[in-house]
Chains A and B, each alone.
Chain A
Amino acid sequence: MADVIAARSLTKVFPGKKGQPDTCALSGVTLAARAGEMTALIGPDGAGKTTFMRLVCGLMDRTAGELSVCGLDVFRTPQDVQDLLSYMPQKFGLYEDLTVAENLTLYADLHGVPAAVREERFTRLLHMTGLAAFTGRLAGNLSGGMKQKLGLACTLVRSPRLLLLDEPTVGVDPLSRRELWEILTQLVREEHLSVLVSTAYMEEAARCDRVYVLHCGQLLMGGTPEALRTAAAGLCYEVQAPPHLPLRLLQSALLTAPGVLDAVPAGGVVRFLTRRAPEELAPLRALGLQARPAEPRLEDGFMKLLKEAEAEGAAPPAEVETAAQGAAETLPLPPPASAAPALIEVEDLVKKFGAFTAVAHTSFSVHRGEVFGLLGPNGAGKTTTFRMLCGLLPATSGKLRVAGVDLRTARTQARANIGYVAQKFSLYANLTVYENLRFFGGAYGLYGRQLRERIAAVAEEFHLTDRMDEAAERLPGGYKQRLSMAAALIHAPGILFLDEPTSGIDPLARRTFWQEITRLAAGGTTIVITTHFMEEAEYCDRFMIQDHGKMLVLGSPAEIRARLGREGAPMDEVFIAIVEQARREKEGT
C-alpha cells in the first residue's frame, strides 16, 4: 500500500522571542502513514503532535526535511494538498453564530460538494452524529460533545483522501468519546479513509493500525499498538491495597520506590511497572502485600518508553524525586476519613441562571483530610457547584457551610479557610516567584515575620526555593502549577479547591501532580477537585458524578463499582454505565 504521508528528517524550529532560546518542536522526524489505515500520534504535551499535523496541512513552513502528502510536496504545493485533505484542529472552529445546517453548508460549498450528493451525505452525517434534531440550532448553543461531533461532520462533508484529527476527543466525556469513535471507524471501513489522529487517550490509540510515539519533538517508536503494548511485557504487576488504605497512598509510595517505572491506581488496584522483582519493593514488603503479574496495556508500553527516554536525559529532568517521599516511606494508616468531622456541608443546593438550572438539588458533605472529586462531562454543572463552594458565585437556594461558616452570610470569613487554584494560570506572569508569594500572602493579611516564614515554608514544600527570583511566566509548566498551589496555600487554609488542574497536562506531569495532592491530604488538608479524566476518580476517597446539573452518584470508587456490580472495571466504563442508566430512567418516567 502507498504511503499517504511520508516525512523524512522533518524539523521545525520556532525562533525564541527576545531573550528566550529557540524551541525545537520537531527534530528529524521520519515516519509514514499508509493509505486506508488509521495512524495514531501519541506523546505528552509539547511532543510536537500539533506541529506535525499543521505541517501536513500546509499551515506552517518547515525548518528542514521533506514531507509529501498523497505524493505531493506540501511545501511546494500547499493548496493542492489542502484540496485533498480534511483537517479537524484541536479547537475546531465552528461559526457559533451559524446554525448546525449553515455550518455544514458552508463547508460543503467550500469543498464543492455537488447538490445531488449533498442531501444524502448530510442526512447520513446528521444521523450518525445524532444532530438531526438540532439542525436549526446555533452552533454556539451546542454542548461540548455535540460541538465536537459537528466539527467532525464538517470535516467529513465530502470523503477526503486524508483525514487529520488533532486530539478530537479532548475534554469530551467518555460517552460522547465512544460515539465519536464509532462514527470514525464506520467511515474508515465504508469509505477506506486514511486517518492521522493525535490523542492523549491510550485506548483510542489502541484502535489504530499504527502508533507513533513522539516525545520532545523526537520519534521514540513507531509500530503496531500490539508492539508498543508488548514493550512492557513482563514488567506489569498489580496489587490490592489493604482495607482503609487509600489507593493513592500505596500508588504514591510505589511511584517513588527505586526501580519502579510507573504506578497508577486503576480498577480498584494499583498497577505498576518495574524491572525488579516485586517482592524487593520496600512499600510492598513493609505492608506484606503480594503483587501479581498483569497483562500489559498500551499505556504501560507508552509510560515505559517515556520514562526511559527521560532517564536518558533526552528530556528535562523528572520532577518526581522528592515529592511525597516523606509521606510515602512510612505509609501511615489514616483513620477512615468518614470518621472525621464534616468540613463542607451542602444541602439541597440549587443554582439557576434565568430559566436554566445549572445545579439542581445537590447535597453532599466533605470530611477533614478527604480528597473529594467532582466529575462530569462539560456543562454538567461541576464548575458552577465549585464556584459556589468557593464563594465566587451566590447560590440560588440551599444550605452551604464551609469550615463551620455559612457561605451565604459570611463569605469573607469562609474564604480565609479556603485556598483556590483556578483552571487557568492566574498568577502575575511578570512578577517573580517570590513576589507572587509575597503578594498573595499580603492579600490574605499575612505580614512581617509570619509572612516570611510562610513563604519559606511553601517554597520548601513545593520545591521552589531555587527558582524564587525567576519570573513566573518563564517557569516550565510543572513549576507553574506548583507555584499556583503554593500561592493558594500561603495562608495555610484547611481546604484546597482545584479546578480542572490536570486538563492539558500529560500523563507524566499528572502522576507528579497527584503525588503532591496525596502528600497534602496526608498532612490533613481537605481537597476538593474537579476533573474530566474519569480515571482520576481512583485517586479520590469519594467522588460525585454530575450530569445536566443533577447529582447521579456519590461514593467511594469501590462502593460505586460494587453498586453497579462492575468490580475491577475502568472508570470510563463505570461513568458510561451510570450516565446511560440515568438517561434510561429519565426516558422511563
Chain B
Amino acid sequence: MGGFSRRLAALTKKETKELLRDNSSLLMGVVLPLVLILIIGCGMSLDVKDVPTAVVLEDHAPTARDAVSFVRGSDYFAPVYVNSFQEAEAMLRAHEVDAILAVPPDFSRRLLAGDAHLQLILNGVESTSAMSAQGYVEAGVRAFAAEFAARRGASAGGVSIVSRIWFNDANTSTWFYVPGILMLVLTISGVFLTAVVMAREWERGTFESLFVTPMRVLELILAKTIPYFVIALLGMLLCLVVGRYLYELPMRAPLAAILGVSMLYLVTALSIGLVISALTKSQYLACHISLMVSFLPAVILSGFLFDLHAEPLAIRVVSRLLPTTYYLDALKSLLLAGGSPIVVAQDTAALMAFTLLFLALAFAMTRKKVDA
C-alpha cells in the first residue's frame, strides 16, 4: 500500500495548494458562511416587537381596563388609547397602527355571565407580524381570564389554556436560524466546492494527463474530498462560535455529538458533490445542478425557513427525501433541546443510508475514461 498512501498524499497536497491559491474556494467555504450568519442573525429576525396597537375602551369599567392592561409594559405592543372605534379604524387605514384591540361597551356585564368578547383587528398585509401579534393578544387575554376566574373563586370546571413556546424560551428566531445556517454552510462547501473542482479539471484538460498515471479512482476521490472536508468543517466551527458568543445560542448536547452528526452530514454533502461532478464536465452546469439539488431544497424544503408541519403532505414527503432535513432535525434537537436520543439516532441512520447510497453512486460513475 506504499503506492496508495504516497499518491494520496501527493494528490491531497496538490488539491490543498490549489485551494489555498484560488481565493474563490476559501471565500465560499469560510467567508460566505460568516457573512451569512451575520446578515441572517442580525437582519432576519421574525420576532415582532412594539406592534403599534390602538386600544379602544368603549366600556369604562375597571375590569375592562384590567382585561387589556397586558399591552402596557409589554415589549410586544406599543399601545395608543383612543376613544372611538372610528378613530382607531382611521389610524389602521393610515398605517399608524397595525392592530386594533376593542373592548365593547357590554364587556364587563357579559364577563360576569361568562360570555365576554374582545375584538381584535389586525393588518393582514404584514401576515407574519399579524400572526405573532394575535398570539400575544390571545395569551394576554387568557392570562387575564384565568386570573379573573381565580379571583372570583371559580369552580374547578374552568379551563385555562396556557401555551408556551418550547425550546426557544426567549422566543428568539435567531436561535431557530443558526442551526439552519450551519446546515447551509456544510451544504454549500460540501456540494458546490466538490462538484466544481472536478468539473474544473475536466474543463482545463488536466484529467486526461492525470488519468494516464498509476493513480486509482479511490485516491482521486479521497484527495478531492479531504481538503474540502477540512474547509467546510472550519466554516461550520466559525459559525458555531459566532452563534454561541454573538447570539448566545444554547448548546444543550455535548459538543462531540454535534460535531459527529455534522461530520457525517458533511460526508453526505461531499458525496452528493461527487455524484454531480461525475454527471457533468462543465463548471457552469455543475454549479447550477448543485444549486437545484442542494442549496434551494436546503433553504426551502428542509424546515429551515418554513415549518414542515405546516406544509402540505406532498411537500413533507419530498422533504423526507432530502438528507438536509434529517441533519437539520438532528442539529436543532441537539442544540436547542439537548438531543432526544431517538430523534438523533433516527436522523443519523437516515444520513448514513444517504451517504452510502451517494458514495456508491459516485464510485460507480467516476471512471478513468474520457468518452463516458
Q: B-contacting residues of A (Cβ < 8 Å)?
A: 14, 54, 57-61, 78-79, 82-83, 85-89, 91-98, 102, 105-107, 109-112, 151, 154-155, 164
Contacts and interface: CB of A to CB of B under 8 A. Distances in A.
A79 B206 CA distance: 18
Contact of A57 (B6, B17, B212, B216): B212
B205 A96 contact: no
Given A59-B208, A82-B212, A98 B3 contact: no
B18 interface: yes
B151 interface: no
B9 interface: yes
17 contacts: A59-B212, A59-B369, A59-B371, A60-B369, A79-B216, A83-B214, A93-B206, A95-B18, A95-B206, A98-B14, A98-B17, A106-B11, A106-B14, A107-B213, A110-B7, A110-B214, A154-B209
B204 A93 contact: yes
A58 B214 contact: no
B212 A112 contact: no
A107 B215 CA distance: 10
B211 A82 contact: yes
Contacts of A85: 212
Contact of A111 (B18, B213, B369, B371): B213
B370 A93 contact: no
Given A91-B205, A95-B14, A109-B7, A82 B370 contact: no
A86 B212 contact: yes
A17 to B, nearest CB: 13
Given A87-B212, A109-B9, A112-B3, 19 more contacts: A57-B211, A59-B212, A59-B370, A59-B371, A60-B369, A60-B371, A61-B371, A82-B214, A85-B212, A93-B204, A93-B205, A93-B206, A93-B210, A95-B18, A97-B22, A102-B17, A106-B13, A109-B7, A112-B6
Contacts of B370: 54, 59-60
A61 B211 CA distance: 14
The 7 closest A-B pairs by CB, nearest first: A93-B206, A109-B10, A87-B212, A91-B205, A89-B208, A93-B209, A110-B213
Nearest to B201: A93
Contact of B209 (A61, A88, A109): A88
Nearest to B21: A97
Residue among A14, A61, A110, A155 with the highest chain B CB neighbour number at 10 A: A110
B207 interface: yes
Residue among B9, B201, B215 with the highest chain A CB neighbour number at 10 A: B215
Interface of B: 3, 6-7, 9-11, 13-14, 17-18, 21-22, 201, 204-216, 368-371
Contacts of A151: 209
Contacts of B17: 97-98, 102
A60 B369 CA distance: 5
Contacts of A79: 214, 216, 368
A396 to B, nearest CB: 29
Residue among A14, A79, A89, A164 with the highest chain B CB neighbour number at 10 A: A89
Contact of B14 (A58, A78, A102): A102
Contacts of B368: 58-59, 78-79, 82
Nearest to B22: A97
A116 B97 CA distance: 83
A97 B18 contact: yes
A503 B168 CA distance: 67
Contacts of A111: 213-214
B282 to A, nearest CB: 16
A82 B11 CA distance: 17
Contacts of B14: 95, 98, 102, 106
Nearest to A14: B371
Contacts of B209: 87-89, 92-93, 151, 154-155
Contacts of B213: 82, 107, 110-111
A61 B372 CA distance: 9
B275 to A, nearest CB: 22
A155 B9 CA distance: 20
B7 A94 contact: no
A110 B206 CA distance: 14
A155 to B, nearest CB: 8
A83 to B, nearest CB: 5
A98 B211 CA distance: 18
B28 to A, nearest CB: 16
Contacts of B211: 57, 59, 82
Contact of A96 (B3, B13, B204, B371): B204
B246 to A, nearest CB: 35
B354 to A, nearest CB: 30
Contacts of A91: 205, 208
A93 B208 contact: yes
A61 B208 contact: no
Nearest to A106: B14
A246 B204 CA distance: 42
A54 B9 CA distance: 27
Nearest to B20: A97
A418 B207 CA distance: 41
A545 B233 CA distance: 54
A110 B14 CA distance: 11
Contacts of A87: 208-209, 212
A52 B43 CA distance: 60
Contacts of A89: 205, 208-209
B7 to A, nearest CB: 6
Given A54-B370, A95-B206, A102-B14, A109 B6 contact: yes
Contacts of A59: 208, 211-212, 368-371
